[in-house]
Structure 1
Amino acid sequence: MPELPEVETTRRKIEPLLRGRVIERIEHDAPHKYRDTHLAVGRRITGLSRRGKYLMLQLAAAEADGLPDLPDDLPHDLELIVHLGMTGGFRLEAGKHTRVTLTTDGGTLHFDDARRFGKMAVVRPGQYATMPTLAGMGPEPLTGDFGLDDFVVRAASCGAVKPWLLSQKPVSGVGNIYADESLWTAQIHPAQTRLNAAEATRLYHAIREVMGAAVEAGGSTLSDGTYAQHDGEAGAYQHRHHVYDRAGKPCDRCGTTIEKIVLAQRGTHFCPQCQKVRAI
């Protein structure tokens, strides 16, 4: 958490508050986690985009009285990259877990992060060498860049399918929740290796179906309540989970008890009847 649906919902919610605004201050006490944020001061936010689980604020030089001069050798455009980590999110009011305060000429947003895994960095557009996950990320699941034929070819030689999805290389933005839900929808065991064409095709369509529905539902807010929007609104997709966080409950499809295992150090939920390992 948060995964693509939560990050995309965040982008949609805060975009009206930030687009076109000039950054006046970015305050924090952890320069190793929030790198070069001073370079964003005096820049206008011209757009907000998303790549996988990353938020990306496009910044351009702005004319604004009272703001600091920027170094002459900086390019006209920069990007502020935000990774929400496990518990990060933006709020209208400061709280006990506020780590960053972003002030623009239109107001203030606070970045809260209870577990402190969130990160920010100001970089030149497209220069992500210090962020290898972002640099090597696969296609977006809800765009035409995510092609069935390529996915089927790559899945034919994959290792355990859930860790493969979590690597972000075959498709971006799929984390623990939506990997479990997609694999249940496709009726594939999370530890299955080397998917055949029929399995890969089912999984491809399941990922698009699950991710699309989760985005429209505003993501998933779990029992810990850490994910919510800046205005306090929670997601609703948790009410449609079939396996994630449902260990011990009956499968919605066949009634078999949902099980939880640890796979690649991640808690993994599945139906042992609907999602059997196929012998290779």
Structure 2
Amino acid sequence: MSTATAMLRSSAAAAAAQRRRQACRPAAATAARASGGRLSLQPAAAAVLSRPRLPQRPQRRAAGCSVWAAAGGSGGSSGSGSTILTLPTVLTLARVAAVPALVAAWYSPAPWAPAACTALFVGASITDYLDGYLARAMKVTSAFGAFLDPVADKLMVATLMVLLCTRPLPPGLLAGNTWVMPVVTCAVIGREITMSALREWAAALGPEAHSAVAVSWVGKWKTATQMISLTLLLLAHQGAAAAGGVPPALLDAAGATGVPLLCVAAFLTVYSLADYFRGLWRFF
């Protein structure tokens, strides 16, 4: 009895499956006739086209990319900017190389050393103006040169001021005050370190903040007074050590003028830092 029941159920299931297949055939035939007997690919094509595209790889730089462009970034040059070793940059590098030569001449016992020491600093002061002028005239300004120029200035000035701290002040208004040169030296070097960090921070904030720390007239006067006062003090010290040839009255005048002028330079140094902070105050 149970076997017959199972056979009846199996026959009923097979008949139901047959009826479902027959019901699906007219719909498939109708769709085939509507598409002309061909299978429609529109849904598949739409699915492919709707897929998000992968980002294209950036094109490689040209093989002839210049060293200048790699080092100078976007501060491109419109002159012969195929290399960073342009004339202004060479002059700036020469100032950096003159720093150890200045120290060696300062401590050298040779009779020509005092004159060489003074000549090195005076030459560095002249090229400080000359390299910037040539870069603008030759249209070979670059980000590398703009970075290196103030670094060379700071190295030369800081080195000479530390050397002057090892000698007593020349005769003059502040003679005998051993604290003057160390205090002025700390003020100048501390300002330069702070200013370098401030410019890096301003550059990270954006163009508006970076323009607020551009070189101002106070900074230019500060640099000029530093160079002149240090030249006078160097002349007073090294001229006295030279084997004759320099009138003592000239040496006394150089020392008496150089110390007060260096104090003025220290004041302008601190004032310019405060002025830059004032321009950046809204970004804090």
> Given the two structures, how large is their TM-score scaled by the length of structure 1?
0.29
By percentage of residues, which structure has more strand? Answer: 1
By percentage of residues, which structure has more helix? Answer: 2
Larger radius of gyration: 2
